[in-house]
Amino acid sequence: MPTDGRTQTYGFLDQLSTEQLLNLLRADFDSSEDGDDEQIFQILEVIEKRERERAPDSLPDAAQAWEDFQTYFNTPDGTGRSLYPMRDSAGKSAAGTARRRRRPLKRLLPLSATVAALTVSCMVTAQAIGFDIFGALAQWTAETFRFEMGAADPASEALRQAVQGTFDECGVMIPAPIWYPEGSMLARDISVSKDTEASVILCGFTCGDQSFFIEVQQYYQNDRIPSYTLEKDAAEVEEYSSNGRLFYIMSNLSSSCAVYSSDQTIMVISGDLSLETLKQIIDSIGE
């Protein structure tokens, strides 16, 4: 079968993974030297072809999508910068910085749209499993892609700081949740009890006319955790994984309860919480 020069020159791109192709794009954008514009658009053609061939019900691997986003876009040196070289507001380069090459705008805009569309296809899946990616994007236009981590809700942040401070004092090995239902507040001072085997922290919250609790038992040795029994109704126990932890979710009449246990830590979240709200709290617990 005859092949043209471009196929012979850039045929190797078909053998690379999409992750590797994105890496080539980023390396080209970051370079201050003249690059191969034709190769860039050949890369985009390969990516577009793969996206078109993807079955409508086929979704990218969520964990891999999040890792790709962090690797190629959410990097320290990219903070406050657009995804591609753009002129600053004064129309000048910063002192001491090499002038970056300019691609023709008519060719740059399709490139921008393609990369943005590919990124969004991965972001939707990551959002579905609990990563607040869209909350981390400050600006998104047809020509630029910029992100900043969104500010935490002040009320939830105040609760997180109070709970995390107690966790730190007691050597708790699991982070405090960073999200709490709107209107939540501590019902009373956080209770801490200690003995020779463990520290037990009990945080009581109110949310309107409802209440819920977060209890953590932190044992000093991993062979000291006793059996732990909770009352439940006839509903099935659900296993729910989030951030590398397995929670067991159950109900007892109108209350919901989630339990996590590691070698030295038991966490229980329970109270007047819907299943969706309970999972949101769980998903907000960091790694």
Residues 19 and 141 in one domain: yes
Kindly state whether residues 38 and 166 are assigned to the same domain: no
Percent of the chain with pLDDT over 70: 55
Q: Which of 146, 180, 201 is the last residue of a domain?
A: 146
* pLDDT confidence bin for 147, thresholds 50/70/90: very low
Owning domain of residue 246: 154-283
Q: How confident is residue 231, by pLDDT bands cut at 50, 70 and 90?
A: confident
Residues 11 and 136 occupy one common structural domain: yes
Which range in 56-60, 127-131, 149-153, 247-251 is most confidently predicted, on average pLDDT?
A: 247-251
Higher-pLDDT residue of 197, 72? 197
Q: What is the DSSP letter of 95?
A: T
Are both 13 and 139 inside the same structural domain? yes
Highest mean pLDDT among 12-26, 114-128, 179-193: 179-193
pLDDT value at 158 more than 80: yes
Identify the pLDDT of residue 81. Answer: 55
The mean pLDDT value for 40-65 works out to 69
Residues 64 and 37 in one domain: yes
Here the CATH number for the domain that contains residue 168 is: 3.30.200.100
Terminal-to-terminal C-alpha distance of the chain? 53
pLDDT band at 137 (very low <50, low <70, confident <90, very high): very low
Q: Are residues 203 and 110 part of one domain?
A: no
Q: Is 29 exposed, middle or buried (0-12, 13-18, 19+ CB in 10 A)?
A: middle
Which token pair is 278?
A: 């309970």
pLDDT at 223 over 70: no
pLDDT (average), residues 153-169: 90
What is the number of domains present in the chain? 2
Question: Do 114 and 210 belong to one domain?
Answer: no
Distance (Å) of CA 1 to CA 8, 11, 46: 12, 14, 20
pLDDT, residue 241, reads: 94
For residue range 114-128, what is the model confidence (pLDDT) as tens digits? 555 555 444 444 444
Q: Which of 104, 121, 146 is at the close of a domain? A: 146
Mean pLDDT value across the chain: 72
Is 89 a residue whose pLDDT tops 90? no
Judged on CB neighbours under 10 Å (0-12, 13-18, 19+), 210 is middle
Residues 13 and 118 both lie in one domain: yes
- What's this model's pTM, rounded to 2 decimal places? 0.48
Long-range contacts of 180-186 (CB under 8 A, 24+ apart): 180/155, 180/156, 180/205, 180/207, 180/281, 181/207, 181/273, 181/277, 181/280, 181/281, 182/155, 182/207, 183/155, 183/207, 183/208, 184/155, 184/156, 184/159, 185/155, 185/159, 186/159, 186/162
Q: Report d(CA 175, CA 281) in Å as an integer.
A: 12
Domain boundary among 91, 122, 146: 146
Query: Averaged over 162-171, what is the pLDDT?
Result: 94
Q: Are residue 265 and residue 243 in the same domain, yes or no?
A: yes
Instruction: Report the pLDDT value the prediction gives residue 192, as an integer from 0 to 100.
Output: 92
Least confident of 125-139, 144-158, 196-210, 234-248: 125-139
pLDDT value for 71? 67
Same domain? 197 vs 116: no
One domain, residues 141 and 21: yes
Checking if the pLDDT of 14 tops 90, the result is no
In angstroms, the Cα distances linking 50 to 16, 47, 114 are 12, 5, 12
Is 28 in the same domain as 111?
Answer: yes
Give pLDDT, residue 94.
44
